[in-house]
């Protein structure tokens, strides 16, 4: 499980099940366990106003440098 946080205010944004190696570029909605973000149209934002990404339907395309994350990759998908 990954915990994704806002790079500005350090609040939690998502709890996310990440599978596979590599960087985190987008969040598949079916793997988001908890969601603390707010939406403005297609934009996904932190409560502090920091723009985290764009809603692309099945996933959220994340904006680089707007978030930090840590955790471990889940082996079971």
Give the interface with Zn ion as residue ranges (CB under 5 A).
6, 8-9, 11, 46, 48, 50
Q: φ and ψ at 28, to 5 degrees?
A: -75, 130
Closest CB to Zn ion among 47 and 73?
Answer: 47
Q: How far is the CB of 22 from Zn ion (least distance, A)?
A: 25
Contacts of residue 21, Cβ cutoff 8 Å, sequence gap at least 6: 73
Q: How far is the CB of 5 from Zn ion (least distance, A)?
A: 8
Q: Is there a contact between 40 and 53 (Cβ–Cβ < 8 Å)?
A: no
Distance (Å, whole) CA 10 – CA 25: 19
Closest CB to Zn ion among 17 and 52?
Answer: 52
Closest CB to Zn ion among 32 and 45?
Answer: 45
């Amino acid at each position: 499980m990954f915990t994704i946080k806002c790079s500005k205010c350090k609040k939690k944004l998502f709890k996310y099940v990440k599978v596979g190696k590599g960087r985190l570029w987008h969040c598949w909605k079916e793997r988001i366990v908890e969601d603390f973000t707010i939406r403005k149209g297609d934009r996904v934002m932190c409560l502090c106003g920091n723009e985290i990404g764009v809603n692309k339907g099945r996933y959220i395309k994340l904006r680089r440098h707007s978030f930090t994350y840590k955790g471990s990759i889940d082996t079971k998908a």
